[in-house]
Structure 1
């Protein structure tokens, strides 16, 4: 009885470990690489040169009226090798970054 419980627990642990390793490998290989973001005038864009999946540009801006609060602008999801671009406001840029998904 004790051996059966141990074998059952060992099998479950091995299966869980294999699932984690396989899940990690597949998601890591699908992530876009070589991504960059830039702002030119009133347009923000992102580009990813490698991998697979999609990406988009994010821009966080600060309105000149403090009571308005932050302005978050998101570009469209686009595949690797394409540019994600969006129009932005003339307010102060706080941060620009790229989000990816496999």
Structure 2
């Protein structure tokens, strides 16, 4: 009889150990899923911001190109004086003026 109880106890302990391992694996999987979702959200936000910035840049360049027949907006070198064609100062990074059209 003592051997039967010992076997049942051993089987119970093995089953409890398997349950703990399964729980640990499930929790690790849930944590990886949570991290993946956060990374996806962050990446999606960053891509959305890049897309908006690219759209603004394209629109700005198209607007400047229509106003400036000399195409000075293509130059990446800064000019301390406004362009003679479009009367807009050029900036060193984008070639797009930060002045508003009514100023």
TM-score range relative to shorter protein: 0.3 to 0.5
1 or 2 for the larger relative contact order (CA 8 Å, sep ≥6)?
A: 1
- Greater helix share, structure number: 2
Q: Which has the larger radius of gyration?
A: 2
- Greater strand share, structure number: 1
TM-score (norm 1): 0.39
